[in-house]
Structure 1
Amino acid sequence: MNIPFLDNWRKRHEADTSPLTAAFDRDPEGVGQLLAECELLRARAQETGVELDDSPRSLAALDQLPPRWRDDPEELPWIGNDAGLYLGTVIVRTVPGACWRVWPGGQPVVRLASGREIDVVEAGLDWAVSGSPELSHVYAEAAEF
Protein backbone atom coordinates (compact mmCIF):
# COMPACT_ATOMS: atom_id res chain seq x y z
CA MET A 1 0.00 0.00 0.00
CA ASN A 2 1.40 3.40 -0.98
CA ILE A 3 0.70 6.08 1.59
CA PRO A 4 2.56 9.27 0.57
CA PHE A 5 2.40 11.05 3.92
CA LEU A 6 4.07 8.06 5.61
CA ASP A 7 6.94 8.23 3.16
CA ASN A 8 7.45 11.90 4.03
CA TRP A 9 7.25 11.14 7.76
CA ARG A 10 9.82 8.34 7.44
CA LYS A 11 12.22 10.55 5.48
CA ARG A 12 12.03 13.27 8.14
CA HIS A 13 12.61 10.87 11.00
CA GLU A 14 15.35 8.92 9.29
CA ALA A 15 17.16 12.23 8.73
CA ASP A 16 17.08 12.78 12.52
CA THR A 17 19.40 9.84 13.04
CA SER A 18 22.86 11.08 13.92
CA PRO A 19 26.04 9.03 13.55
CA LEU A 20 26.12 8.66 17.36
CA THR A 21 22.56 7.32 17.37
CA ALA A 22 23.41 4.81 14.65
CA ALA A 23 26.58 3.72 16.47
CA PHE A 24 24.68 3.42 19.75
CA ASP A 25 22.09 1.18 18.09
CA ARG A 26 24.89 -1.14 16.90
CA ASP A 27 27.19 -1.09 19.94
CA PRO A 28 25.82 0.63 23.07
CA GLU A 29 28.67 -0.61 25.28
CA GLY A 30 31.31 0.66 22.86
CA VAL A 31 29.63 4.06 22.66
CA GLY A 32 29.49 4.15 26.47
CA GLN A 33 33.25 3.58 26.57
CA LEU A 34 33.77 6.32 24.01
CA LEU A 35 31.62 8.75 26.00
CA ALA A 36 33.65 7.95 29.13
CA GLU A 37 36.95 9.16 27.65
CA CYS A 38 36.52 12.88 28.49
CA GLU A 39 40.17 13.51 27.63
CA LEU A 40 40.27 17.27 28.14
CA LEU A 41 38.54 17.14 31.52
CA ARG A 42 40.76 14.27 32.67
CA ALA A 43 43.87 16.19 31.60
CA ARG A 44 42.80 19.39 33.39
CA ALA A 45 41.88 17.44 36.53
CA GLN A 46 45.21 15.61 36.51
CA GLU A 47 47.05 18.94 36.22
CA THR A 48 45.50 19.94 39.55
CA GLY A 49 46.10 16.57 41.20
CA VAL A 50 42.51 15.31 40.96
CA GLU A 51 42.17 11.70 39.84
CA LEU A 52 39.00 10.91 37.94
CA ASP A 53 38.30 7.32 38.94
CA ASP A 54 34.64 7.24 37.85
CA SER A 55 33.43 7.50 41.45
CA PRO A 56 30.94 9.91 43.02
CA ARG A 57 33.82 11.17 45.19
CA SER A 58 35.62 12.38 42.07
CA LEU A 59 32.58 14.49 41.13
CA ALA A 60 32.85 16.29 44.46
CA ALA A 61 36.56 16.86 43.76
CA LEU A 62 35.71 18.36 40.35
CA ASP A 63 33.24 20.70 42.02
CA GLN A 64 36.14 22.12 44.06
CA LEU A 65 38.43 22.86 41.10
CA PRO A 66 39.17 26.51 40.37
CA PRO A 67 37.25 27.26 37.14
CA ARG A 68 40.22 28.43 35.05
CA TRP A 69 38.47 27.21 31.88
CA ARG A 70 36.08 30.15 32.20
CA ASP A 71 38.95 32.41 31.10
CA ASP A 72 39.18 30.58 27.78
CA PRO A 73 35.99 30.90 25.69
CA GLU A 74 37.22 28.19 23.32
CA GLU A 75 37.89 25.65 26.06
CA LEU A 76 34.77 26.36 28.13
CA PRO A 77 32.23 24.41 26.01
CA TRP A 78 34.62 21.46 25.64
CA ILE A 79 35.18 21.24 29.39
CA GLY A 80 31.43 21.51 29.94
CA ASN A 81 30.72 18.76 27.44
CA ASP A 82 33.36 16.51 29.00
CA ALA A 83 32.06 17.26 32.50
CA GLY A 84 28.59 16.20 31.44
CA LEU A 85 29.83 13.02 29.82
CA TYR A 86 31.93 12.25 32.89
CA LEU A 87 28.91 12.84 35.14
CA GLY A 88 26.91 10.46 32.97
CA THR A 89 29.68 7.88 33.10
CA VAL A 90 29.75 7.97 36.91
CA ILE A 91 25.95 7.66 37.08
CA VAL A 92 25.85 4.75 34.61
CA ARG A 93 28.65 2.91 36.40
CA THR A 94 27.40 3.39 39.96
CA VAL A 95 23.61 3.86 39.96
CA PRO A 96 21.72 0.57 39.54
CA GLY A 97 19.60 0.49 36.39
CA ALA A 98 21.10 3.64 34.87
CA CYS A 99 22.11 3.45 31.22
CA TRP A 100 23.11 5.64 28.30
CA ARG A 101 20.48 6.61 25.73
CA VAL A 102 20.89 8.75 22.65
CA TRP A 103 18.12 11.10 21.60
CA PRO A 104 17.34 11.14 17.85
CA GLY A 105 19.37 14.33 17.31
CA GLY A 106 22.43 12.61 18.75
CA GLN A 107 22.35 14.03 22.30
CA PRO A 108 23.58 11.45 24.84
CA VAL A 109 21.50 11.31 28.01
CA VAL A 110 21.32 9.01 31.01
CA ARG A 111 18.13 7.08 31.64
CA LEU A 112 17.50 6.03 35.22
CA ALA A 113 15.68 2.84 36.22
CA SER A 114 12.63 5.03 36.98
CA GLY A 115 12.52 6.12 33.32
CA ARG A 116 13.64 9.67 34.10
CA GLU A 117 16.22 10.96 31.64
CA ILE A 118 18.99 13.37 32.62
CA ASP A 119 20.56 15.61 30.01
CA VAL A 120 24.02 15.27 31.53
CA VAL A 121 25.72 17.33 28.82
CA GLU A 122 23.47 20.29 29.60
CA ALA A 123 24.21 19.85 33.32
CA GLY A 124 27.94 19.75 32.55
CA LEU A 125 27.77 22.90 30.46
CA ASP A 126 25.83 24.72 33.20
CA TRP A 127 28.44 23.60 35.71
CA ALA A 128 31.32 24.77 33.54
CA VAL A 129 29.74 28.18 32.94
CA SER A 130 28.39 28.98 36.40
CA GLY A 131 29.37 26.21 38.81
CA SER A 132 25.75 25.31 39.34
CA PRO A 133 24.34 22.78 39.65
CA GLU A 134 27.31 21.05 41.18
CA LEU A 135 28.08 17.74 39.53
CA SER A 136 27.92 15.96 42.88
CA HIS A 137 24.39 17.31 43.45
CA VAL A 138 23.16 16.10 40.07
CA TYR A 139 24.65 12.70 40.91
CA ALA A 140 22.97 12.67 44.35
CA GLU A 141 19.58 13.39 42.77
CA ALA A 142 20.08 10.62 40.22
CA ALA A 143 21.11 8.15 42.91
CA GLU A 144 17.87 8.83 44.81
CA PHE A 145 15.65 7.63 41.98
Structure 2
Amino acid sequence: MNIPFLDAWRKRNADERARTAVGGESGSDPEGVADMLAECDLLRARVQEFGVRLDDTPRSLEAIDQLPPRWRDDPEELPWLGNDAGLYLGTVIVRTVPGASWYLTPGGHPVVRLASGRELHVVEAGLDWAMSGSPELSQVYAEAAEG
Protein backbone atom coordinates (compact mmCIF):
# COMPACT_ATOMS: atom_id res chain seq x y z
CA MET A 1 0.00 0.00 0.00
CA ASN A 2 1.42 3.37 -1.01
CA ILE A 3 0.63 6.08 1.52
CA PRO A 4 2.79 9.12 0.69
CA PHE A 5 2.75 10.74 4.13
CA LEU A 6 3.91 7.46 5.72
CA ASP A 7 6.81 7.24 3.28
CA ALA A 8 7.91 10.75 4.24
CA TRP A 9 7.52 9.93 7.96
CA ARG A 10 9.57 6.73 7.61
CA LYS A 11 12.36 8.55 5.76
CA ARG A 12 12.46 11.36 8.32
CA ASN A 13 12.62 8.87 11.20
CA ALA A 14 15.28 6.77 9.45
CA ASP A 15 17.36 9.92 8.94
CA GLU A 16 16.97 10.80 12.62
CA ARG A 17 18.01 7.30 13.71
CA ALA A 18 21.08 7.53 11.48
CA ARG A 19 22.07 10.91 12.94
CA THR A 20 21.55 9.58 16.45
CA ALA A 21 23.74 6.54 15.77
CA VAL A 22 26.80 8.62 14.90
CA GLY A 23 26.03 12.26 15.53
CA GLY A 24 26.13 12.31 19.28
CA GLU A 25 22.47 12.72 20.19
CA SER A 26 20.28 10.72 22.55
CA GLY A 27 23.03 8.98 24.48
CA SER A 28 24.95 7.69 21.49
CA ASP A 29 28.71 7.24 21.56
CA PRO A 30 30.14 9.10 18.54
CA GLU A 31 33.74 8.54 19.69
CA GLY A 32 33.08 4.82 20.04
CA VAL A 33 31.61 4.62 16.56
CA ALA A 34 34.49 6.68 15.15
CA ASP A 35 37.00 4.39 16.86
CA MET A 36 35.25 1.32 15.45
CA LEU A 37 35.29 2.77 11.92
CA ALA A 38 38.98 3.67 12.35
CA GLU A 39 40.15 0.11 13.04
CA CYS A 40 40.90 -0.83 9.40
CA ASP A 41 42.91 -3.88 10.45
CA LEU A 42 43.57 -5.26 6.96
CA LEU A 43 44.80 -1.92 5.62
CA ARG A 44 46.99 -1.40 8.68
CA ALA A 45 48.55 -4.86 8.24
CA ARG A 46 49.22 -4.38 4.51
CA VAL A 47 50.79 -0.93 4.80
CA GLN A 48 52.88 -1.97 7.78
CA GLU A 49 54.57 -4.51 5.47
CA PHE A 50 55.97 -1.46 3.64
CA GLY A 51 56.92 0.39 6.82
CA VAL A 52 54.00 2.82 6.64
CA ARG A 53 52.36 3.73 9.93
CA LEU A 54 48.79 4.98 9.90
CA ASP A 55 48.71 7.94 12.27
CA ASP A 56 45.41 9.49 11.13
CA THR A 57 47.13 12.33 9.26
CA PRO A 58 46.87 13.50 5.66
CA ARG A 59 50.57 12.62 5.30
CA SER A 60 49.72 8.95 5.87
CA LEU A 61 47.19 9.10 3.02
CA GLU A 62 49.97 10.33 0.73
CA ALA A 63 52.14 7.41 1.86
CA ILE A 64 49.36 4.91 1.13
CA ASP A 65 48.90 6.39 -2.34
CA GLN A 66 52.56 5.64 -3.11
CA LEU A 67 52.41 1.91 -2.24
CA PRO A 68 52.64 -0.69 -5.01
CA PRO A 69 49.11 -2.06 -5.50
CA ARG A 70 49.86 -5.73 -4.76
CA TRP A 71 46.35 -6.19 -3.34
CA ARG A 72 45.01 -6.06 -6.89
CA ASP A 73 46.48 -9.53 -7.38
CA ASP A 74 44.03 -10.95 -4.84
CA PRO A 75 40.42 -10.52 -5.98
CA GLU A 76 39.11 -11.75 -2.63
CA GLU A 77 41.12 -9.24 -0.61
CA LEU A 78 40.62 -6.28 -2.96
CA PRO A 79 37.14 -5.20 -1.81
CA TRP A 80 38.05 -5.60 1.86
CA LEU A 81 41.17 -3.52 1.48
CA GLY A 82 39.23 -0.89 -0.49
CA ASN A 83 36.60 -0.77 2.25
CA ASP A 84 39.31 -0.28 4.88
CA ALA A 85 40.99 2.42 2.76
CA GLY A 86 37.69 4.29 2.54
CA LEU A 87 37.07 4.03 6.27
CA TYR A 88 40.60 5.20 6.99
CA LEU A 89 40.16 8.12 4.59
CA GLY A 90 36.97 9.04 6.45
CA THR A 91 38.76 8.74 9.77
CA VAL A 92 41.47 11.16 8.68
CA ILE A 93 38.88 13.62 7.39
CA VAL A 94 36.74 13.45 10.54
CA ARG A 95 39.76 13.87 12.81
CA THR A 96 41.43 16.72 10.91
CA VAL A 97 38.80 18.70 8.97
CA PRO A 98 36.81 21.05 11.22
CA GLY A 99 33.10 20.25 11.29
CA ALA A 100 33.41 16.88 9.54
CA SER A 101 31.57 13.96 11.13
CA TRP A 102 30.49 10.42 10.44
CA TYR A 103 26.93 9.86 9.34
CA LEU A 104 25.10 6.62 8.62
CA THR A 105 22.76 6.70 5.66
CA PRO A 106 19.30 5.17 6.13
CA GLY A 107 20.76 2.06 4.47
CA GLY A 108 23.48 1.93 7.13
CA HIS A 109 26.41 3.04 4.95
CA PRO A 110 28.98 5.26 6.66
CA VAL A 111 29.62 8.57 4.91
CA VAL A 112 31.43 11.69 6.02
CA ARG A 113 29.40 14.85 6.26
CA LEU A 114 31.36 18.09 5.97
CA ALA A 115 30.43 21.30 7.78
CA SER A 116 29.01 22.57 4.46
CA GLY A 117 26.53 19.66 4.45
CA ARG A 118 28.27 17.93 1.55
CA GLU A 119 28.47 14.15 1.98
CA LEU A 120 31.50 12.13 0.96
CA HIS A 121 31.02 8.46 0.15
CA VAL A 122 34.45 7.54 1.44
CA VAL A 123 34.01 3.77 1.18
CA GLU A 124 33.22 4.11 -2.52
CA ALA A 125 36.29 6.33 -2.93
CA GLY A 126 38.38 3.70 -1.14
CA LEU A 127 37.09 0.94 -3.39
CA ASP A 128 37.80 3.02 -6.51
CA TRP A 129 41.30 3.71 -5.23
CA ALA A 130 41.98 0.04 -4.45
CA MET A 131 40.76 -1.09 -7.88
CA SER A 132 42.28 1.59 -10.10
CA GLY A 133 44.42 3.93 -8.01
CA SER A 134 42.16 6.85 -8.81
CA PRO A 135 41.18 9.09 -7.25
CA GLU A 136 44.11 9.10 -4.87
CA LEU A 137 43.12 9.12 -1.21
CA SER A 138 45.17 12.27 -0.61
CA GLN A 139 43.30 13.99 -3.44
CA VAL A 140 39.90 13.16 -1.92
CA TYR A 141 41.19 14.46 1.41
CA ALA A 142 42.42 17.71 -0.17
CA GLU A 143 39.00 18.30 -1.74
CA ALA A 144 37.29 17.64 1.59
CA ALA A 145 39.64 19.99 3.43
CA GLU A 146 38.71 22.77 0.98
CA GLY A 147 35.07 22.31 1.89
Deviation at 1:12, TM superposition (A): 6.4
Aligned to 1:103: 105
Shift of 1:104: 0.5
Q: Equivalent residue for 1:5?
A: 3
Superposed CA RMSD in Å reads: 2.5
Q: Once the two structures are aligned, what percentage of the paired residues are identical?
A: 72
State the AA in 2 paired with 1:112: L
Matches within 5 A, 1:110-121: 110-121=112-123
Question: How far apart are the structure 1 equivalents of 2:8 and 2:62?
Answer: 44
Aligned to 1:133: 135
Q: Which of 87, 94, 113 is 1:85 aligned to?
A: 87
Q: What TM-score do the two structures reach when normalised by structure 1?
A: 0.86
Stretches of structure 2 that go unaligned for 5 or more consecutive residues are: none
1:144 paired with 2:123, answer no
The answer for the alignment partner of 1:45 in structure 2 is 47
Offset at residue 8 of structure 1 (A): 5.8
1:24, distance to aligned residue in structure 2 (A): 3.4
Map Cα deviations across residues 28-81 of structure 1 (whole Å, 9 max, x no partner): 221111000000000101111001100000000000011011000010000000
SS of the residue corresponding to residue 101 of structure 1 reads: strand
Change (3 A) 1:79 1:99: same
TM-score by length of 2: 0.85
- 3-state SS in 2 of match to 1:54: coil
Unaligned stretches of 5+ in structure 1? none
One of 75, 78, 82 as aligned partner of 2:77? 75
Between the two proteins, the alignment pairs up a number of residues equal to 141
Q: 2:22 maps to which residue?
A: 24
Partners of 1:10 and 1:92 in 2: CA distance: 30
CA contact (8 A) 1:56 1:136 kept: yes
Task: Give the structure 1 partner of residue 35 of structure 2.
Answer: 33
In structure 2, what is the Cα distance between the partners aligned to 1:34 and 1:89?
10
